[in-house]
Structure 1
Amino acid sequence: MMLNTISRTRGALGTLLGQLRSSPGGIGAHIARRRLCTKPQETQPQPATPVQSHAEAVRPAYKMPGHRPTENDKRVLIWSGRFKSRDQIPEFVSHEMIDASRNKLRVKACYIMIGLTVLSCVAMVILGKQAAGRNESLLGWNMERKARWREEAGRESTVAAEKAP
Protein backbone atom coordinates (compact mmCIF):
# COMPACT_ATOMS: atom_id res chain seq x y z
CA MET A 1 0.00 0.00 0.00
CA MET A 2 2.76 2.40 0.98
CA LEU A 3 4.81 1.56 -2.12
CA ASN A 4 1.82 2.21 -4.34
CA THR A 5 1.34 5.67 -2.80
CA ILE A 6 5.02 6.48 -3.21
CA SER A 7 4.92 5.33 -6.83
CA ARG A 8 1.92 7.55 -7.61
CA THR A 9 3.50 10.56 -5.89
CA ARG A 10 6.73 10.03 -7.77
CA GLY A 11 4.87 9.79 -11.08
CA ALA A 12 2.90 12.95 -10.34
CA LEU A 13 6.06 14.84 -9.45
CA GLY A 14 7.71 13.68 -12.68
CA THR A 15 4.74 14.91 -14.69
CA LEU A 16 4.75 18.26 -12.89
CA LEU A 17 8.48 18.76 -13.47
CA GLY A 18 8.09 17.83 -17.14
CA GLN A 19 5.34 20.39 -17.55
CA LEU A 20 7.34 23.09 -15.78
CA ARG A 21 10.39 22.35 -17.90
CA SER A 22 8.48 22.62 -21.19
CA SER A 23 6.52 25.74 -20.21
CA PRO A 24 7.92 29.06 -21.54
CA GLY A 25 8.72 30.64 -18.18
CA GLY A 26 9.27 27.51 -16.09
CA ILE A 27 12.33 25.70 -14.84
CA GLY A 28 14.75 24.97 -17.65
CA ALA A 29 12.97 27.22 -20.14
CA HIS A 30 16.29 28.11 -21.75
CA ILE A 31 16.91 24.40 -22.44
CA ALA A 32 13.50 23.61 -23.85
CA ARG A 33 13.36 26.67 -26.12
CA ARG A 34 13.39 25.76 -29.79
CA ARG A 35 16.16 27.29 -31.81
CA LEU A 36 15.32 28.37 -35.35
CA CYS A 37 17.70 28.12 -38.25
CA THR A 38 18.96 31.50 -39.39
CA LYS A 39 20.55 30.22 -42.59
CA PRO A 40 18.77 31.65 -45.65
CA GLN A 41 17.02 29.13 -47.84
CA GLU A 42 18.46 28.56 -51.27
CA THR A 43 15.88 28.50 -54.03
CA GLN A 44 16.43 27.06 -57.44
CA PRO A 45 15.21 29.15 -60.34
CA GLN A 46 12.28 27.59 -62.22
CA PRO A 47 13.03 26.77 -65.85
CA ALA A 48 11.10 28.85 -68.30
CA THR A 49 8.20 26.93 -69.80
CA PRO A 50 7.30 27.47 -73.41
CA VAL A 51 3.91 29.00 -74.05
CA GLN A 52 1.41 26.31 -74.92
CA SER A 53 -1.47 26.77 -77.24
CA HIS A 54 -5.02 26.18 -76.03
CA ALA A 55 -5.24 22.87 -77.89
CA GLU A 56 -2.12 21.56 -76.13
CA ALA A 57 -3.26 22.75 -72.70
CA VAL A 58 -6.58 20.86 -72.86
CA ARG A 59 -6.05 17.20 -72.07
CA PRO A 60 -8.41 14.45 -73.16
CA ALA A 61 -10.70 12.78 -70.61
CA TYR A 62 -8.56 9.65 -70.78
CA LYS A 63 -4.82 9.27 -71.06
CA MET A 64 -3.65 7.29 -74.05
CA PRO A 65 -1.23 4.89 -72.34
CA GLY A 66 -4.01 2.85 -70.77
CA HIS A 67 -5.24 -0.64 -71.34
CA ARG A 68 -7.94 -2.33 -73.32
CA PRO A 69 -11.05 -2.66 -71.10
CA THR A 70 -12.49 -6.11 -70.54
CA GLU A 71 -16.20 -6.87 -70.74
CA ASN A 72 -16.55 -6.38 -66.99
CA ASP A 73 -14.68 -3.07 -67.20
CA LYS A 74 -17.08 -1.97 -69.93
CA ARG A 75 -20.06 -2.86 -67.73
CA VAL A 76 -18.55 -0.90 -64.86
CA LEU A 77 -17.92 2.12 -67.10
CA ILE A 78 -21.54 2.06 -68.29
CA TRP A 79 -23.10 1.42 -64.84
CA SER A 80 -21.06 4.21 -63.27
CA GLY A 81 -22.41 6.63 -65.86
CA ARG A 82 -19.09 7.38 -67.52
CA PHE A 83 -20.41 6.27 -70.93
CA LYS A 84 -23.96 5.78 -72.19
CA SER A 85 -23.39 2.70 -74.37
CA ARG A 86 -20.69 0.19 -75.34
CA ASP A 87 -20.19 1.98 -78.67
CA GLN A 88 -18.96 5.12 -76.91
CA ILE A 89 -16.21 3.33 -74.96
CA PRO A 90 -12.83 3.91 -76.64
CA GLU A 91 -10.47 1.08 -77.48
CA PHE A 92 -7.95 2.12 -74.80
CA VAL A 93 -8.98 3.53 -71.42
CA SER A 94 -6.73 4.89 -68.67
CA HIS A 95 -6.33 3.07 -65.39
CA GLU A 96 -7.51 6.18 -63.54
CA MET A 97 -10.83 6.20 -65.39
CA ILE A 98 -11.51 2.55 -64.60
CA ASP A 99 -10.51 3.02 -60.94
CA ALA A 100 -12.77 6.06 -60.64
CA SER A 101 -15.66 4.13 -62.21
CA ARG A 102 -15.11 1.19 -59.87
CA ASN A 103 -15.03 3.51 -56.86
CA LYS A 104 -18.24 5.20 -57.99
CA LEU A 105 -19.93 1.83 -58.44
CA ARG A 106 -18.62 0.68 -55.04
CA VAL A 107 -20.15 3.74 -53.38
CA LYS A 108 -23.48 3.11 -55.13
CA ALA A 109 -23.43 -0.50 -53.90
CA CYS A 110 -22.73 0.71 -50.36
CA TYR A 111 -25.69 3.11 -50.51
CA ILE A 112 -27.92 0.28 -51.72
CA MET A 113 -26.75 -1.96 -48.85
CA ILE A 114 -27.34 0.83 -46.33
CA GLY A 115 -30.87 1.32 -47.67
CA LEU A 116 -31.61 -2.41 -47.56
CA THR A 117 -30.30 -2.59 -43.99
CA VAL A 118 -32.56 0.25 -42.87
CA LEU A 119 -35.56 -1.32 -44.63
CA SER A 120 -34.90 -4.72 -43.06
CA CYS A 121 -34.59 -3.14 -39.60
CA VAL A 122 -37.94 -1.39 -40.05
CA ALA A 123 -39.49 -4.67 -41.26
CA MET A 124 -38.13 -6.54 -38.21
CA VAL A 125 -39.60 -3.91 -35.87
CA ILE A 126 -42.99 -4.22 -37.56
CA LEU A 127 -42.90 -8.04 -37.46
CA GLY A 128 -41.84 -7.96 -33.80
CA LYS A 129 -44.75 -5.70 -32.87
CA GLN A 130 -47.18 -7.98 -34.72
CA ALA A 131 -45.78 -11.04 -32.90
CA ALA A 132 -46.10 -9.22 -29.57
CA GLY A 133 -49.73 -8.48 -30.43
CA ARG A 134 -50.30 -12.23 -30.93
CA ASN A 135 -48.56 -12.92 -27.58
CA GLU A 136 -45.69 -14.79 -29.28
CA SER A 137 -42.21 -14.55 -27.87
CA LEU A 138 -38.91 -16.37 -28.09
CA LEU A 139 -39.24 -17.44 -24.47
CA GLY A 140 -42.59 -19.13 -25.20
CA TRP A 141 -41.21 -20.85 -28.29
CA ASN A 142 -38.20 -22.16 -26.37
CA MET A 143 -40.36 -23.46 -23.51
CA GLU A 144 -42.65 -25.30 -25.96
CA ARG A 145 -39.70 -26.82 -27.81
CA LYS A 146 -38.06 -28.02 -24.59
CA ALA A 147 -41.36 -29.51 -23.41
CA ARG A 148 -41.60 -31.48 -26.70
CA TRP A 149 -38.03 -32.71 -26.23
CA ARG A 150 -38.82 -33.86 -22.70
CA GLU A 151 -41.91 -35.75 -23.93
CA GLU A 152 -39.88 -37.45 -26.70
CA ALA A 153 -37.12 -38.35 -24.25
CA GLY A 154 -39.74 -39.76 -21.83
CA ARG A 155 -41.33 -41.87 -24.60
CA GLU A 156 -37.92 -43.18 -25.67
CA SER A 157 -37.02 -44.11 -22.08
CA THR A 158 -40.33 -45.98 -21.58
CA VAL A 159 -39.87 -47.85 -24.88
CA ALA A 160 -36.32 -48.77 -23.86
CA ALA A 161 -37.54 -49.92 -20.42
CA GLU A 162 -40.23 -52.12 -21.99
CA LYS A 163 -37.72 -53.78 -24.35
CA ALA A 164 -35.29 -54.55 -21.55
CA PRO A 165 -36.07 -58.00 -19.98
Structure 2
Amino acid sequence: MGSLRGLLLAAGSCFRLCERDVSSSLRLTRSFHLKIINGFCIKPQESPRAPSRTYSHRVPLHKPTDWQKKMLIWSGRFKKEDEIPETVSLEMLDAAKNKIRVKISYLMIALTVIGCIAMIIEGKRAAQRNETLTRLNLEKKARLREEAAMKAKTE
Protein backbone atom coordinates (compact mmCIF):
# COMPACT_ATOMS: atom_id res chain seq x y z
CA MET A 1 0.00 0.00 0.00
CA GLY A 2 2.86 2.35 0.82
CA SER A 3 4.57 1.68 -2.50
CA LEU A 4 1.38 2.56 -4.37
CA ARG A 5 1.14 5.87 -2.56
CA GLY A 6 4.76 6.62 -3.32
CA LEU A 7 4.20 5.78 -6.95
CA LEU A 8 1.20 8.15 -7.11
CA LEU A 9 3.20 10.95 -5.48
CA ALA A 10 6.05 10.45 -7.95
CA ALA A 11 3.65 10.48 -10.89
CA GLY A 12 2.01 13.69 -9.61
CA SER A 13 5.33 15.48 -9.20
CA CYS A 14 6.42 14.33 -12.66
CA PHE A 15 3.17 15.66 -14.10
CA ARG A 16 3.71 19.04 -12.37
CA LEU A 17 7.24 19.26 -13.80
CA CYS A 18 5.97 18.56 -17.30
CA GLU A 19 3.22 21.14 -16.81
CA ARG A 20 5.79 23.78 -15.83
CA ASP A 21 7.87 22.98 -18.90
CA VAL A 22 4.86 23.29 -21.17
CA SER A 23 3.72 26.58 -19.65
CA SER A 24 7.23 28.07 -19.85
CA SER A 25 7.49 27.11 -23.52
CA LEU A 26 4.11 28.68 -24.15
CA ARG A 27 5.25 31.94 -22.55
CA LEU A 28 8.02 32.08 -25.13
CA THR A 29 5.49 31.92 -27.93
CA ARG A 30 3.52 34.98 -26.79
CA SER A 31 5.20 36.94 -29.53
CA PHE A 32 3.18 34.86 -31.97
CA HIS A 33 -0.11 36.22 -30.53
CA LEU A 34 -1.08 33.04 -28.75
CA LYS A 35 -3.12 33.18 -25.59
CA ILE A 36 -2.39 30.93 -22.64
CA ILE A 37 -5.40 29.69 -20.74
CA ASN A 38 -4.85 27.07 -18.05
CA GLY A 39 -1.70 25.84 -19.74
CA PHE A 40 -3.32 25.37 -23.16
CA CYS A 41 -2.55 27.21 -26.35
CA ILE A 42 -5.44 28.81 -28.22
CA LYS A 43 -5.03 30.60 -31.52
CA PRO A 44 -6.93 33.87 -31.85
CA GLN A 45 -10.18 33.63 -33.75
CA GLU A 46 -9.98 34.81 -37.33
CA SER A 47 -12.86 36.69 -38.84
CA PRO A 48 -15.05 34.31 -40.82
CA ARG A 49 -14.77 34.82 -44.55
CA ALA A 50 -17.70 34.82 -46.87
CA PRO A 51 -17.83 31.55 -48.80
CA SER A 52 -16.34 32.00 -52.21
CA ARG A 53 -18.29 30.99 -55.28
CA THR A 54 -15.26 29.54 -57.06
CA TYR A 55 -13.67 26.28 -56.06
CA SER A 56 -9.93 26.09 -55.71
CA HIS A 57 -9.99 22.36 -56.46
CA ARG A 58 -11.93 21.59 -59.60
CA VAL A 59 -13.87 18.36 -59.68
CA PRO A 60 -12.93 16.37 -62.78
CA LEU A 61 -15.89 16.21 -65.10
CA HIS A 62 -16.70 13.38 -67.46
CA LYS A 63 -18.85 13.24 -70.57
CA PRO A 64 -21.25 10.34 -69.93
CA THR A 65 -21.78 7.63 -72.50
CA ASP A 66 -25.25 6.43 -73.47
CA TRP A 67 -25.00 3.55 -71.00
CA GLN A 68 -23.95 5.91 -68.19
CA LYS A 69 -26.84 8.22 -69.07
CA LYS A 70 -29.22 5.27 -68.70
CA MET A 71 -27.65 4.46 -65.33
CA LEU A 72 -28.17 8.07 -64.18
CA ILE A 73 -31.84 7.82 -65.17
CA TRP A 74 -32.36 4.37 -63.60
CA SER A 75 -30.76 5.50 -60.36
CA GLY A 76 -33.30 8.31 -60.11
CA ARG A 77 -30.78 11.13 -60.41
CA PHE A 78 -32.50 12.54 -63.50
CA LYS A 79 -35.99 12.02 -64.90
CA LYS A 80 -35.23 12.30 -68.63
CA GLU A 81 -32.15 12.00 -70.78
CA ASP A 82 -32.58 15.65 -71.82
CA GLU A 83 -32.02 16.81 -68.22
CA ILE A 84 -28.54 15.23 -68.02
CA PRO A 85 -25.81 17.86 -68.49
CA GLU A 86 -23.05 17.36 -71.03
CA THR A 87 -20.48 16.72 -68.31
CA VAL A 88 -21.06 15.14 -64.92
CA SER A 89 -18.72 14.44 -62.04
CA LEU A 90 -17.24 11.01 -61.55
CA GLU A 91 -18.66 10.99 -58.03
CA MET A 92 -22.17 11.34 -59.44
CA LEU A 93 -21.55 8.38 -61.76
CA ASP A 94 -20.18 6.30 -58.87
CA ALA A 95 -23.21 7.15 -56.74
CA ALA A 96 -25.53 6.13 -59.60
CA LYS A 97 -23.64 2.84 -60.06
CA ASN A 98 -23.90 2.10 -56.35
CA LYS A 99 -27.65 2.77 -56.33
CA ILE A 100 -28.13 0.46 -59.28
CA ARG A 101 -26.01 -2.24 -57.58
CA VAL A 102 -28.22 -2.01 -54.50
CA LYS A 103 -31.41 -2.17 -56.58
CA ILE A 104 -30.13 -5.20 -58.50
CA SER A 105 -29.15 -6.96 -55.28
CA TYR A 106 -32.63 -6.32 -53.84
CA LEU A 107 -34.15 -7.67 -57.05
CA MET A 108 -31.98 -10.79 -56.86
CA ILE A 109 -32.96 -11.34 -53.23
CA ALA A 110 -36.65 -11.03 -54.12
CA LEU A 111 -36.29 -13.41 -57.10
CA THR A 112 -34.46 -15.94 -54.91
CA VAL A 113 -37.21 -15.87 -52.29
CA ILE A 114 -39.91 -16.20 -54.99
CA GLY A 115 -37.99 -19.10 -56.58
CA CYS A 116 -37.70 -20.88 -53.24
CA ILE A 117 -41.40 -20.49 -52.54
CA ALA A 118 -42.23 -21.77 -56.06
CA MET A 119 -40.01 -24.84 -55.57
CA ILE A 120 -41.64 -25.60 -52.23
CA ILE A 121 -45.11 -25.40 -53.78
CA GLU A 122 -44.07 -27.54 -56.78
CA GLY A 123 -42.47 -30.12 -54.47
CA LYS A 124 -45.62 -30.42 -52.40
CA ARG A 125 -47.73 -30.88 -55.54
CA ALA A 126 -45.35 -33.59 -56.79
CA ALA A 127 -45.54 -35.35 -53.43
CA GLN A 128 -49.34 -35.35 -53.69
CA ARG A 129 -49.06 -36.94 -57.17
CA ASN A 130 -46.67 -39.50 -55.65
CA GLU A 131 -43.78 -38.39 -57.86
CA THR A 132 -40.87 -38.90 -55.50
CA LEU A 133 -37.24 -39.08 -56.60
CA THR A 134 -36.96 -42.65 -55.37
CA ARG A 135 -39.91 -43.77 -57.45
CA LEU A 136 -38.65 -41.93 -60.56
CA ASN A 137 -35.19 -43.51 -60.19
CA LEU A 138 -36.64 -47.01 -59.77
CA GLU A 139 -38.79 -46.57 -62.90
CA LYS A 140 -35.78 -45.31 -64.88
CA LYS A 141 -33.60 -48.23 -63.79
CA ALA A 142 -36.36 -50.71 -64.66
CA ARG A 143 -36.71 -49.14 -68.11
CA LEU A 144 -32.94 -49.29 -68.68
CA ARG A 145 -32.89 -52.98 -67.64
CA GLU A 146 -35.70 -53.77 -70.07
CA GLU A 147 -33.84 -51.98 -72.89
CA ALA A 148 -30.64 -53.87 -72.03
CA ALA A 149 -32.58 -57.16 -72.02
CA MET A 150 -34.12 -56.33 -75.45
CA LYS A 151 -30.67 -55.60 -76.87
CA ALA A 152 -29.30 -58.84 -75.46
CA LYS A 153 -32.15 -60.81 -77.09
CA THR A 154 -31.68 -59.19 -80.50
CA GLU A 155 -27.94 -59.88 -80.56
Bin for the TM-score computed over the shorter chain = 0.5 to 0.7
Counterpart position of 1:52: 50
- Pairing partner for 2:73 from 67, 75, 78: 78
TM-score computed with the length of structure 1 as normaliser: 0.62
The answer to whether the aligner puts 1:121 opposite 2:119 as a matched pair is no
- Pairing partner for 2:83 from 81, 88, 109: 88
Q: Which runs of 4+ in 1 moved over 2 A?
A: 38-41
TM-score computed with the length of structure 2 as normaliser: 0.66
Identity fraction in percent: 49
Q: Deviations over 1:107-155 (max 9, x none)?
A: 0001011001101111111111111111110111111011111111111
Amino acid at match of 1:148: R
Structure 1 unaligned segments of length 5 or more: list them: 1-37, 161-165
1:49 Cα shift?
A: 8.3
Equivalent residues in 2 for 1:130-141, closer than 5 Å: 130-141=125-136
More strand by share: 2
CA-based RMSD of the aligned residues comes to 3.1
Question: Following the alignment from structure 2 to structure 1, what is the Cα–Cα distance between the partners of residues 127 and 63?
Answer: 58
Q: Deviations over 1:73-92 (max 9, x none)?
A: 00000000000111111111
How many residues of Structure 1 are paired with residues of Structure 2 in the alignment? 120
Contact 1:64–1:92 (Cα < 8 Å) also in 2: no
SS at match of 1:81: coil
Question: Following the alignment from structure 1 to structure 2, what is the Cα–Cα distance between the partners of residues 50 and 88?
Answer: 37
Amino acid at match of 2:122: L
Question: Following the alignment from structure 1 to structure 2, what is the Cα–Cα distance between the partners of residues 124 and 73?
Answer: 37
SS at match of 2:148: helix
Contact 1:69–1:92 (Cα < 8 Å) also in 2: yes
Contact 1:69–1:91 (Cα < 8 Å) also in 2: yes
SS at match of 1:143: helix
Structure 2 unaligned segments of length 5 or more: list them: 1-14, 23-40
1:158 Cα shift?
A: 1.2
Equivalent residues in 2 for 1:4-83, closer than 5 Å: 51-53=49-51, 56=53, 64-83=59-78
1:66 Cα shift?
A: 1.3
